[in-house]
Amino acid sequence: MPSRRTAWPPSSAFSCDTVAAILAKSPAEKAGLQVGDTLVEVNGRPVLTLQAAREALLAASLERPLSLVVRRESERLSLVLKTATPKL
C-alpha cells in the first residue's frame, strides 16, 4: 500500500499519518519533525487511523508542549513540539 502524506502543521487538507511538508521556522521544524515521518503517538495516544490523529491533535492543549512519537525509517523517535504563543 502506498504511503499517504500530508502537510504539517495539519490543516483541513490533513489526510493521513505521514508528514509530507514542514513549514519553515514552524514549531514542527523546531521540534525536529521531518518529511516522511509517520505519526505513532500524540500525547501518549496511539495514532492508528486518520481519525485517531485528528482527535489526538484536537484534544491537545495549545498551552502545553505536544509530545509526539514518530517512526522515521526503522527508528521510533520521541519529539516535543512547543506550540507557538500568539502575540497580541
Give the CATH number for residue 27: 2.30.42.10
**pLDDT value at 63 more than 70:** yes
SS3 9: coil
Q: Is residue 86 part of a domain?
A: no
Q: Is residue 1 part of a domain?
A: no
Strand partners, 46: 41
Q: Is residue 87 part of a domain?
A: no
- Compute the average pLDDT of residues 10-29: 71
Q: Longest C-alpha distance within the chain, in Å? A: 45
| Residue 76, pLDDT score | 94
φ/ψ (deg, to 5) at 43: 50, 45
Q: Is residue 15 part of a domain?
A: yes
Number of domains in the chain: 1
Rounded to the nearest integer, the mean pLDDT of the chain is 78
**pLDDT value at 13 more than 70:** no
Q: Is residue 88 part of a domain?
A: no
Q: Is the pTM of this model over 0.75?
A: no
| Residue 85, pLDDT score | 65
Give Cα 20 to chain centroid, integer Å: 11
Burial of 51 (0-12, 13-18, 19+ CB in 10 A): exposed
Domain that holds residue 42: 6-81
